[in-house]
Amino acid sequence: MRHKSTTFQRLVRLVAVGALASIVHVTAAAQSPARDAKAEVLRAVEARQARDADIARQIWSFAEVGFKETRSSALLQRELRDAGFTVEAGVAGMPTAFVATYGSGKPVIALFSEFDALPGLSQDTVPVQRSLGADAGHGCGHHLLGTASMSAAIALKQWLARSGRTGTIRLYGTPAEEGGSGKVYMVRDGLFRDVDALIGWHPGDNNDATSSPSLANISGKFRFRGISAHAAGSPEKGRSALDGVEAMDHMVNMLREHVPQETRIHYVITAGGRAPNVVPDFAEVYYYVRSPDTRVLQDVWDRVVKASQGAALGTGTSVEHEITGGVYSLLPNDVLGHLMDANLRALGGLRYTPAERTFAETLRKTLDTPALPLGSEAVVQPYLPSAAAMGGSTDVGDISWTVPTAQISTATWVPGTPAHSWQATAAGGMSIGTKAATLAAKTMAATVVDLFFDPSMIERAKAELLQRRGAGFQYQPLLGNRKPALNYRG
């Protein structure tokens, strides 16, 4: 997931600069042959608003977790086929992954759709916490992400078909972004090999095109096995797998003092036994380790693995682990980032209706010291080329080390809302979310038009990618050669 904020006070100081940049961009666009094409794709996105809102709401209601997004993926694929795309389903060993293509030749510009939900975030579209009783919810807005990217792709396809221009629009349907690393398997299988640039977006609580690095991430499950026995009648005959998990967790928690401060380690015990009077012969713990530096990440992960082995030795149990996810940090590209920023700034922010304003005011009362004030959804944050790493991880990172990549965020959620929260789920399921998704679709479509009319922009973006990667870089997936962990959600 991608999520970041800047302070509103900083925005006020710099908004004049942003407004001037927007005016310059609009003036240049008026003299550009891209002007009419941009106007055409923007109208096409606007014409789809009602249809897109319906599709996003359906996916929001499905709330399917990673690699289980059967209905969500099928809905997007059907819409793309009906629009004239050729769709290849089940790519890279993932049943819900797909590649939709229209056109031929260069440039090849890609967008991506995500559509997986998060466990445990069931929530109604109301500004107070109210579960719908489901097992999952779209607390990261992937129902909107997938739909808006599809909308932009269809608008661009219609323009290409009418204009007769050479070039290819490709939309990647990428499952299991939340911990399943779906895009990594697609990169590993060479599905992005001929792509010239990737343009994307992610829901957020502000409008922002800043290119921020993310945290590289390795995730996996540690499974301990012991010996069952009566916990009171014959405890000496038992060897508790749960003891192994708890010993491991204790050692890893001591490890936190001795890792670089940017490192993040999280875990949940996913299995710990069924009854207190039965010594559990099986227990499982699910770990994430993150760092902005892939080398540090791999070192810390190795230390976590050793902790599991020591825990097993000390408790008389055995342990095995399975790496279920692994992603690179996001590699920024300022050439494409500035281009997306110019288009986002020209389109502007969002305007709430009175009903949306009331919703937002009520919801904000449930937030703990929001970083952004209400009203900031109407503006675009300053572009910060040297922004610090954001706290999350994304499998877009692997693409960004192989293809020039840029993303924006739009104010899909009420300002100040954290991702992966019931508040994000609520706003993402109603009109605040859908109008922000429309803004994202327009920005992406306009940016792709710029790339078609100015191929030198692509070449500059590729040169920046090579410079940022450094000499001798060779992509090696952190997942190794394992098959997709299709049941990582259980």
Domains, the chain, in order of start with CATH, read 8-213+329-469 (3.40.630.10), 216-326 (3.30.70.360)
**Beta strands 86-89; 118-119: pairing state:** unpaired
Q: What is the pLDDT of residues 141-169, one digit of tens each?
A: 999 999 999 999 999 999 999 999 999 99
With bands split at pLDDT 50, 70 and 90, how would you rate the model's confidence at 249? very high
Q: What is the pLDDT of residues 337-387, one digit of tens each?
A: 999 999 999 999 999 999 999 999 999 999 998 889 999 999 999 999 866
Mean local confidence (pLDDT), 267-283: 97
Mean local confidence (pLDDT), 295-317: 97
Q: What is the pLDDT of residues 186-207, one digit of tens each?
A: 999 999 999 999 999 999 999 9
Q: Can you give the pLDDT at residue 391?
A: 77
In which order are the strands placed within the sheet that holds 264-271?
264-271, 282-291, 216-225, 318-327
- The strand ranges marked E within 352-451 are 405-411
Task: Report the distance separating Cα 364 and Cα 229, nearest Å.
Answer: 51
Q: Can you give the pLDDT at residue 34?
A: 83
Mean local confidence (pLDDT), 485-490: 92
- Higher confidence at residue 32 or residue 359? 359
Cα 286 to Cα 67, 79, 120, 140, 181: the distances in Å are: 17, 36, 16, 20, 15
Task: Report the distance separating Cα 433 and Cα 138, nearest Å.
Answer: 11
Window from 380-394, 428-442, 453-467 with minimum mean pLDDT: 380-394
DSSP letter string, 105-153:
SS-EEEEEE---BEET----SSSS----S-SEE-TT-HHHHHHHHHHHH
HSE-CB for 486 with a 13 A CA cutoff: 11
Q: Can you give the pLDDT at residue 216?
A: 96
Cβ distance 177 to 203 under 8 Å?
no
Mean pLDDT, the chain, integer: 93
Q: What is the pLDDT of residues 48-63, one digit of tens each?
A: 999 999 999 999 999 9
Q: What is the pLDDT of residues 346-357, one digit of tens each?
A: 999 999 999 999
Cβ distance 152 to 445 under 8 Å?
yes
Q: Can you give the pLDDT at residue 431?
A: 98
**What are the φ and ψ backbone dihedral angles of 157, each rounded to 5 degrees?**
-60, -45
**Residue 185 above 50 pLDDT?**
yes
Q: Can you give the pLDDT at residue 1?
A: 52
